[in-house]
Structure 1
Amino acid sequence: MRRRANSVPPRDFDQCIKILGCILLLVLSFVVGKLIYLQVVTASSLSAEAQQSRSNAIVLQAKRGTIYDRNGNVLAMSKECATFYCNPEEVDDPNGAGDVFEEVLGGESKNYVSRMRVQGTFSYISRQVDSDDADEIEQKLKEKGIKGIYRLKDSKRVYPYGAIGSQVLGIVGIDGDGLTGLEYYYNDILKGKNGTMYLETGQGGTPIAGGHSEVDEARDGTDIVISLDIDIQRVAEETIVKGTEQYKADSGSVMVTDPTTGEILAACSTPLFDVTDTSTIEEGATSLKLVSSSYEPGSIFKVLTAAIGLESGSVSPMDTFSVPGGVRVGDDIVRDDDGRTETMTMDLREILRRSSNTGIALVTQNEIGETNFANGVSAFQIGQATGIDFPGEVQGMVKQLNQYDGASIGAMSFGQSLAIPLVQMVKAVGSIANDGTLVTPHFLVSKGGEEVTWDPVGTSVSKETADAVTDMMRTVVQSGTATAAQVKGYDIAGKTGTGEQADENGYIEYKYVSSLIGFAPADNPKVLVYVGLNGTPYLASSSSAPLFSTIMSEALSDMGVEPSS
């Protein structure tokens, strides 16, 4: 039989079928594998990408916790307001909308319009708008038929007492984070947790009417109570601002505490700023110089030197010393501010009353000695961070025993040759008022209704030493360099300090850190006040002393301390 032309032999035909089947099987396997990969391996990520392409995520600001003063007065709170945003691709009349925002909020229409013409599908137009203004904007936009602009619930910080306490409270940024002060230090407590709203959008990012939206609710922050007394704070700020100007100082600082607990009743340093208007803030205004800047403390340090001498047993209150007009300290001759040239007999009380540099240097070099002095400085925790709950604390520069030279203890005895933030002196002298017990200066009293405990952090001297030094400090106020610090009817213990300021060329003539630190009532202290003027040509007795009197008078009254006479 003749075979037909071009016919495929059965064996070859079977082979073709097998090859085709293999190809189909490979294709099918690839498709199935791809489906498994897409539906199982990458399903979640693809879903998220799809959701992201069809949604806008908007932050819902948590309401920050309220800050109260010790008497329950609201110092900072969050108030409900509104934020306006848009999809720039959807806004049908940017110029008309800009005119509405300008009319209600002020500013220039073009600035609002520019925010509606940015690239992308989301843009803020105006944030933290007062609710009444937001209602008016919404109504006017509706009347004009302008679309594509949306309102979002928001909150902002308000301050019932205005600018008072701005440095301590600090600034909160537009995104709800604390930037300075206690708002920054306790941000994790106050802030809470922001939420998120996801809006389903169509092509171009336009929100879909009736589309799916998902809200992760914000969790509000925790309220705190701080130790400030707003009335003492107000007087402290007013007094130091006037004093800085009156006594031609570069800056001034105040801290008021309860020395038995360490609670800070008032604190400030110039320049101040207004937290309700942060458009203009002078350099350094957001920090407390008492915490963040180091200075030579001057003669207020003599309180600690006297205590060190008594505590170490090197001297006693009854010991007298023959004090010449000048005492050699290293290569220098130290003299007293009163220009005395003759030799005088003095005990520790008289040395403090006169604020005698020669007397305290003589006693320190001849009687106390380097080891006792260094141990005493360490016991007062000078040169160590206090642990104050405020940002920016520095440790200062204080020589250790192995760094002493021939001039060290003589100069340090009256507050030179060391530089510290003056909050360390508040803590150290506070321990004299507190029978020798050291406590941490602090602001936080309670959070979320629960009291915060601040334990003692050491002992500087014995009660006997503290009592003896307190009695000497009484004399300073009664008849010494601090008579202008007196408050009628109250028993006050205090000490002035006039420390020379230095630059790279040495000490500057007639440029002092003039300060006064003291507490009252002397036998049962409830209030401690530090006042310092930096870069003033005036001695402490005629500058910081009267400022101290004004602030101490207010603090004693506000704390309910009755006069003793």
Structure 2
Amino acid sequence: MIRVQLSFLAVIVVSTAIIAKVVYIQFVEEDKWQKIAKENALDYKVTKAIRGDIYAENDALLATSVPSFKLSFDPMIAADSVYKNGIAVLCDSLSKHFKDKTSEEYYRKINDARLAKRRYLVLTNRPINYYEQQRLAKWPIFNQGQRRGGVLFEKISKRTYPFGDLAERLIGRIDEKGSGIVGLEKSFNDTLAGINGEALYQKIAGGDWKPIQTNSRIRPIDGYDIYSSIDVNMQEMASNALENRVITTDADFGCVVIMDVKTGYVKAMANLSRTKEDSTFSERYNYAIGDYGSIDPGSTFKLASALALFQHTDVKLNDTVETGNRRFRYADAVMTDDGPGGRLTVQQAFEYSSNIGVSKLMNKYFNQTDPQRNLLIDYFEKLWLAKPLNFQIVGEAQPIIKRPTDPTWSGVTIPWLSIGYECKVSPLQILTLYNGIANNGKLMKPQIVKEIRKADRRIKQYVPIILNEQMCSPEALRKAQTILRGVVQRGTARSINSRAYQIAGKTGTSQKVVNRGGRKRYVKQYKTSFVGYFPADNPKYSCIVVIDNPRRGKRSGGGIAAPVFRKIADQLHARDVEMRQMSSSGSFTMADVSNFPRKHIGHKKDLNVIAKELNVVTVDSSGTMDWVRPFRRKLAVQWKKHRLSSKGVPNVIGMTLRDALYVLENRKMKVSFAGRGRVKSQSVMPGASIPSDGKILLILKK
């Protein structure tokens, strides 16, 4: 009986002790045990898939994720024998490779962690690349792997752009989470991103998470690669020419798009806008497709009006229209003109970009009845001007071309619409229209991505797409091609006419409208543009240039934007063997560049005048430099930078005496010279300090 009572008492004591311990742990030691639980928690964490690459033509890499590794170590895993035999060599190798600690410092760091039974140790903050990882994996202890040696190569990746800020807005960028935010990175984010996996991690002392090898790991599926139609050389040409122009004209923004005529593939798309902070220019917005670049395209829209006239009326090129004294009233609105005025042929009205001439023709044939008005707007839709192109990059503006049912429609809508006002059409849409004329009436959908691949396996192909097999009749096409060629030969773009190859296109100048006091008023700000194609007799490329609100220079499409087109066309023509052969086989011949003076320093403007007179194609590699050195190439002359030296004595060797005097006297130097011809040598070396007496002797030689 006593035994039973003792046993019962013992049970009560033990139970009471257990309950007391539970209560003590639950309420007294709660914080302690929660801290331990947190420090030893297990959790599944996302393992990032490697983002796919973006390529230009010829497999030029535009964006890539460079794999790298974080080197960490569990010093408790290696067996004593492995650890003792390898630790000295390992520490010596770490010191020699990373050069951030001595061998002894590495030994203390690792050995102290082993003695303290720490399970996770970051050995260096510098990421290592794949080749380093392969090399380090052969070192003592590390060569035992993660399970027996304790080494951890934790994969991380960094998005890099090999061409820097070239086509920055077009290619796009990613955010801190690895998702695309603009450009191709955003538009094809799901394709590039892949599918993330997950792995089991253990939280250890210090708040770090250590990966644990288990069979429950879900491996990530890496993203696909994007192959674009961008030509890096063309993109650089377009960007350089555009940057030079927006700077010299003090413009707000500009864009350039180059398209392959036959396929519709976009070869270059450059966008530059002024920053508010320091007035420099960078790629921050895609004006070629976005809302800001699409308002009132101006006279480049007149091609659509011309096509409507040629397609749906019996208007002939030699018919005439009276433009008067360059002012014409429609109801309560007055239209002005920069054209010659008087009676013009239809062809002249378009070649000289007569607002009054074009609008009167359109008002006569398309603004008398509702069926006429609807016919016109329906035709603009067939030309893909009134609906989105569904371009492959997000951010495309919704085009606006009003219908007669629109509440804002008025009696002056068609006259103003016919010359590119009261509408919203993107530069890419305008270019697509002109590209259709270059492509003999076949309207192609613009595309910038050609393929999606996984290594060498093609996942998807974007073949050329025809939007409209025949956008107009052959006769309407012939008339349109005639006026576009005439614009460059005799009209508003005659300054860019080339004897080396044919250019066809149209200038555009639209005056900006602002809302003041509830009323829209025109201000002295302009959007200038030029769009066309070349060689006009066998087109290969089409191109549009838009320069917005230039503050310097002749503020017109012919004076501001057309020269940029010509510069790009010259460079493409000079480097393209096929186009040069087509030019040489026709009536347009290229000048012999062997007679052009070489290695003679000169002012770029003066040399451009000489080159134009000699019909020599030039390739400008000098950027914004005023002084250049010409180099003869096989079929062109290339301008290269000549640095005068920003401080001290400038380098005038190779200049004419006139140019040398201009440069040196601007530095307050006193010049004497001997001989005739160009500067052969100078008495004070370029870059040296200007002598106290300011004197310099130039030796001239023919």
Structure 1 and Structure 2 fold alike (TM over 0.5): yes
* SS of aligned partner of 2:549: strand
Partner of 1:396: 399
State the 1:487 CA deviation.
Answer: 4.2
Q: Does 1:417 align with 2:419?
A: no
Judged with a 3 Å threshold, the aligned counterparts in structure 2 of structure 1 residues 539 and 55 are, in CA distance, closer, same or farther, namely: same
What residue identity is the alignment partner of 1:543?
Answer: I
Judged with a 3 Å threshold, the aligned counterparts in structure 2 of structure 1 residues 84 and 420 are, in CA distance, closer, same or farther, namely: farther
What residue identity is the alignment partner of 2:48?
Answer: Q
CA distance in 2, matches of 1:288, 1:83: 37
Judged with a 3 Å threshold, the aligned counterparts in structure 2 of structure 1 residues 400 and 213 are, in CA distance, closer, same or farther, namely: same
Equivalent residues of 2:169, 2:283 under 8 A apart: yes
CA distance in 1, matches of 2:306, 2:465: 27
Judged with a 3 Å threshold, the aligned counterparts in structure 2 of structure 1 residues 512 and 198 are, in CA distance, closer, same or farther, namely: same
Q: Does 1:533 align with 2:547?
A: yes
Q: Does 1:443 align with 2:443?
A: no
TM-score, structure 2 normalization: 0.61
Equivalent residues of 2:377, 2:401 under 8 A apart: no
- From 244, 259, 266, give the equivalent of 2:261: 259
CA distance in 2, matches of 1:468, 1:524: 16
CA distance in 2, matches of 1:324, 1:297: 25
Partner of 1:80: 67
Q: 1:373-416, CA deviations, whole angstroms, 9 ceiling, x for partnerless residues?
A: 32322221213111111111111332113233110111111111
What residue identity is the alignment partner of 2:319?
Answer: D
* SS of aligned partner of 1:374: helix
Partner of 1:343: 342
- From 376, 387, 398, give the equivalent of 1:384: 387
CA distance in 2, matches of 1:175, 1:127: 21
- From 364, 370, 375, give the equivalent of 2:362: 364
Q: 1:504-543, CA deviations, whole angstroms, 9 ceiling, x for partnerless residues?
A: 1334433111000000122322101100011124111111
- From 476, 481, 486, give the equivalent of 2:492: 481
* SS of aligned partner of 2:538: coil
| Greater Cα offset, 243-252 or 392-401 | 392-401
Equivalent residues of 1:200, 1:208 under 8 A apart: yes
What residue identity is the alignment partner of 1:452?
Answer: Y
Q: 1:279-315, CA deviations, whole angstroms, 9 ceiling, x for partnerless residues?
A: x999994431121122211111111111110000241
* SS of aligned partner of 1:328: strand
What residue identity is the alignment partner of 1:76?
Answer: A
Q: Does 1:496 align with 2:499?
A: no
Equivalent residues of 1:304, 1:429 under 8 A apart: no
State the 1:320 CA deviation.
Answer: 2.1
Q: Aligned residue pairs: how many?
A: 469
Partner of 2:191: 189
Judged with a 3 Å threshold, the aligned counterparts in structure 2 of structure 1 residues 335 and 58 are, in CA distance, closer, same or farther, namely: same
What residue identity is the alignment partner of 1:329?
Answer: Y
* SS of aligned partner of 2:546: strand
1:297-308 equivalent positions in 2, closer than 5 A = 297-308=297-308
Structure with bigger RCO (C-alpha 8 Å, 6+ apart): 1
What residue identity is the alignment partner of 2:49?
Answer: A
State the 1:488 CA deviation.
Answer: 4.5
CA distance in 2, matches of 1:208, 1:132: 21
State the 1:225 CA deviation.
Answer: 1.2
Q: 1:414-459, CA deviations, whole angstroms, 9 ceiling, x for partnerless residues?
A: 1112122222111222222222222221101111135322421224
State the 1:207 CA deviation.
Answer: 6.6
Equivalent residues of 1:197, 1:213 under 8 A apart: no
Q: Does 1:561 align with 2:579?
A: yes
1:57-456 equivalent positions in 2, closer than 5 A = 57-83=44-70, 129=127, 131=129, 152-200=154-202, 212=214, 214-271=216-273, 285-293=283-291, 294-325=294-325, 326-338=327-339, 340=340, 343-344=342-343, 346-369=344-367, 370-403=373-406, 404-448=409-453, 449=458, 450-456=460-466
Equivalent residues of 1:80, 1:154 under 8 A apart: yes
Judged with a 3 Å threshold, the aligned counterparts in structure 2 of structure 1 residues 399 and 52 are, in CA distance, closer, same or farther, namely: farther
Stretches of structure 2 that go unaligned for 5 or more consecutive residues are: 1-36, 75-97, 102-118, 142-149, 368-372, 589-702
What residue identity is the alignment partner of 1:304?
Answer: A
Q: 1:340-379, CA deviations, whole angstroms, 9 ceiling, x for partnerless residues?
A: 5x522x2221011111111001111113433443232222
Judged with a 3 Å threshold, the aligned counterparts in structure 2 of structure 1 residues 507 and 433 are, in CA distance, closer, same or farther, namely: farther
TM-score, structure 1 normalization: 0.74
Q: Does 1:521 align with 2:524?
A: no
Judged with a 3 Å threshold, the aligned counterparts in structure 2 of structure 1 residues 126 and 302 are, in CA distance, closer, same or farther, namely: farther
Q: 1:441-492, CA deviations, whole angstroms, 9 ceiling, x for partnerless residues?
A: 1101111135322421224322332222011110111111112333441111
